[in-house]
Amino acid sequence: MSPRFRLWRLVAIFAAGHLVLALGSLATSYTLVMSRFDAATFVESSIVEYVATGASDVLFEPGSAIVRALGRGSHSSFAQWFAVACNSLLWGLGLAFVYRRLTRRSTRPPAGGASPPRSGPVNLVR
């Protein structure tokens, strides 16, 4: 499998995971807020509601900022779903690059320094 294909597979996996988390946090936040709204008496916000709302706010950026910047006339249903999909792809691309950077093993010796020790049995007797 080529490295380019592996990168795009990682992007797709991270983008799908981001989309599920973003929509799940939005649905959880909306459900909890609406249950409090429909209550006859005042009900204090729960920690789950705070976490879901915060996660939703973070996961929908920068897509929601771009939709807001386009103005009120461009808020068609298609444009909003397109922004959500592009936002997830952007998050997927960023997370894939971070993942590859953290998991990539360097084969080059450090610049200006000694090469790393070789693996294998060590001969302590000279």
Q: Report pLDDT digits (tens) over 113-126.
A: 666 666 767 767 76
Residues in CB range of 78: below 8 A, 6 or more apart: none
Residue 83 has pLDDT above 90, yes or no: no
The answer to whether the pTM exceeds 0.85 is no
Six-digit token string for 55:
């996660």
pLDDT at 65 over 90: no
Q: What is the mean pLDDT of residues 33-42?
A: 80
pLDDT band per the 50, 70, 90 thresholds, residue 73: low
* pLDDT reported for residue 5: 87
Q: What is the number of other CB atoms lying within 10 angstroms of the CB of residue 125?
A: 3
Q: Is the pLDDT of residue 104 over 70?
A: yes
Cα 54 from chain centroid?
Answer: 14
Residue-range domain boundaries for the chain: 3-103
CB atoms within 10 A of CB 99: 15
Alpha-carbon distance of 93 to 86, in angstroms, equals 10
